[in-house]
Amino acid sequence: MTVPRAFISFDFDHDEKWRNLFVGQGRHPDTPWEIADWSSKSALPQSQWEKLIEDKINRCNMVIVLVGRYMASATGVAKEIKMAKANNVPVFGVYVDDANRSSNLPTGLPSNRVIKWTWPNVTAAVDQMMQEGKNASTPK
């Protein structure tokens, strides 16, 4: 099976720890899902950021938004969601850092596309994303 390529969108100022844990869990042999993380590993100058990030998102099967407690201040996350939608790349969110249904969501991410971080939930969401957007098979 091909390993899904995922762009992990997160609040760089507050949730880098959670990105590292999430991606690391995907490498554990007992985890029923695996993700190749194509997100940016460092802060970039704004002049380079948009082109590089949109190109990375466009080459991924999905965008996974790690929804932390400070999403309201994460303007880059909303831009990444918008880029994904413009490129027909499916998006879902995963609550991290004690965030929950009452937490602020980034613009463009509906609440019915955000899940609790469990192996079965993420497995089901990754499988669903592989059936959506540009991943979907076209009828012959």
Give the CA count within 13 Å in the CB-facing half-sphere of 79: 12
pTM summary value: 0.90
Q: Give per-residue pLDDT as tens, 120-140.
A: 999 899 999 999 988 876 554
Question: Which sequence spans correspond to the domains of the chain?
Answer: 5-133
Give the residue from 82, 88, 133 showing the smallest Cα distance to 107: 82
From first to last of its 140 residues, what are the pLDDT tens digits of the chain? Answer: 577 888 999 998 899 899 999 988 888 887 767 777 777 767 778 778 888 899 999 989 999 999 999 987 788 899 999 999 999 999 999 999 999 999 999 999 999 999 999 989 998 999 999 999 888 765 54
Distance of CA 74 to CAs 16, 37, 43, 87, 133, Å? 12, 19, 13, 21, 25
Q: What is the pLDDT of residue 140?
A: 43
CATH number of 5-133: 3.40.50.9200
